[in-house]
A and B are shown apart, each in its own frame.
Chain A
Amino acid sequence: MGPVTFAVLATALVVSALTVVVHPSPVKSAMALVVTLFLLAVVFVFLGAHMIAALQVIVYAGAIMVLFLFVIMLLNLSDDGAEARHQGGALFRLGAWIGGGVLAVELAALFLRVPFPAPATPPAGYGGAEAVATALFVDYLLPFELTSILLLVAIVGAVVLAQRRAA
């Protein structure tokens, strides 16, 4: 990826991420987050992570965001002025923006000072389904199996929490 492509992608990413944070409507925030996740998938492709990019679109931009939109619409949310009634108000907000800005500048400056050598050309098939699956099912078999337990617990937990209590 050339510097120009990177600059365009990075600008679009930052703008869509800021839209998620500042937009008053939750639905539009969610749509901006979908855009952010898609753009991140593009960055992953440029970094050679093809399998992860596909998973990013399917799992994140697909499944998780549908869940978010479903809940937003189920609860029938609209901008009820809750943000304006925020306890602590304008001073807290200003402080959070300044603190977050300092965090971004500090971290970015720190990373940009590190002189990384140019990465070696990756082996053929790097980041493809076969390479990721081999690592996942050989080196990381135990964590992979533990994930299934985590997902099972999450499913049961979500059902128990969201069901209506019998009177």
Chain B
Amino acid sequence: MVPTSWYLALSAVLFAIGAIGVLVRRNIIVVFMAIELMLNAVNLTFVAFARQLGTIDGQVIVFFVMTVAAAEAAVGLAIIIAAFRNRPTVNADELAVLRW
């Protein structure tokens, strides 16, 4: 039986990798995928704690996180498509018209 702390450590490493992805990548779709990676790392934390505490609530929260992630992916990708129509690039550095 692997202790809960190992799962939490794995989740922390995955979260950090996702955070690095957001920082170092300029392709906005890959940045988006890194955000999904971070959401999943946190999901792992919820499931590990649900198992540790013997309750089901953590798993229900994961269900809600998945719903929000689906909504976020749909709207985010639609924004990317709209921005791409306006200006054919997915480089986050070049999509800076909103930056003052």
What residues make up the interface of A, taking CB atoms closer than 8 Å to B?
Answer: 1-3, 6, 10, 13-14, 17-18, 20-21, 26, 29-30, 33, 36-37, 40, 43-44, 47-49, 51-52, 55-56, 59-60, 63-64, 67-68, 71-72, 74-75, 77, 80, 82-83, 85-87, 92-93, 96-97, 99-101, 103-104, 107-108, 110-116, 118-120, 122-123, 126-127, 131-132, 134-136, 139-140, 143, 147, 150-151, 153-155, 157-159, 161-162, 164
CB < 8 Å A-B pair total: 242
Question: Interface size on B (CB < 8 Å)?
Answer: 72
Inter-chain contacts of A154 with B (CB < 8 A): 70-72, 74-75
B62 in contact with A49 (CB, 8 Å): yes
Considering the chains assembled together, what is the distance between the CA atoms of A110 and B12 in angstroms? Answer: 10
B27 in contact with A82 (CB, 8 Å): yes
A96 → chain B, closest Cβ, in Å?
4
A20 in contact with B21 (CB, 8 Å): yes
Given A40-B43, A100-B23, A161-B82, does the pair A155, B74 have CB atoms closer than 8 Å?
Answer: yes
Given A60-B40, A122-B54, does the pair A75, B90 have CB atoms closer than 8 Å?
Answer: yes
A59 in contact with B90 (CB, 8 Å): no
B54 in contact with A120 (CB, 8 Å): yes
Q: Which of B75-100 contact A (CB under 8 A)?
A: 75, 77-82, 84-85, 89-91, 93-94
A28 → chain B, closest Cβ, in Å?
10
A68 in contact with B29 (CB, 8 Å): yes
Per-residue A-contact encoding for B45-77, CB less than 8 Å = 1, 0 else: 001101111101101101110111111111101
Considering the chains assembled together, what is the distance between the CA atoms of A23 and B19 in angstroms? Answer: 15
Inter-chain contacts of A108 with B (CB < 8 A): 9, 12-13
A17 in contact with B18 (CB, 8 Å): yes
A55 in contact with B63 (CB, 8 Å): yes
Pairs A-B, 10 closest by C-beta atoms: A104-B16, A107-B12, A100-B20, A154-B71, A96-B23, A21-B21, A161-B78, A111-B8, A108-B9, A82-B91
Considering the chains assembled together, what is the distance between the CA atoms of A20 and B37 in angstroms? Answer: 9
Considering the chains assembled together, what is the distance between the CA atoms of A69 and B91 in angstroms? Answer: 17
Inter-chain contacts of A132 with B (CB < 8 A): 56, 59-60, 63
Considering the chains assembled together, what is the distance between the CA atoms of A41 and B44 in angstroms? Answer: 9
Inter-chain contacts of B5 with A (CB < 8 A): 111-116
Considering the chains assembled together, what is the distance between the CA atoms of A30 and B80 in angstroms? Answer: 16
Inter-chain contacts of A6 with B (CB < 8 A): 2, 6
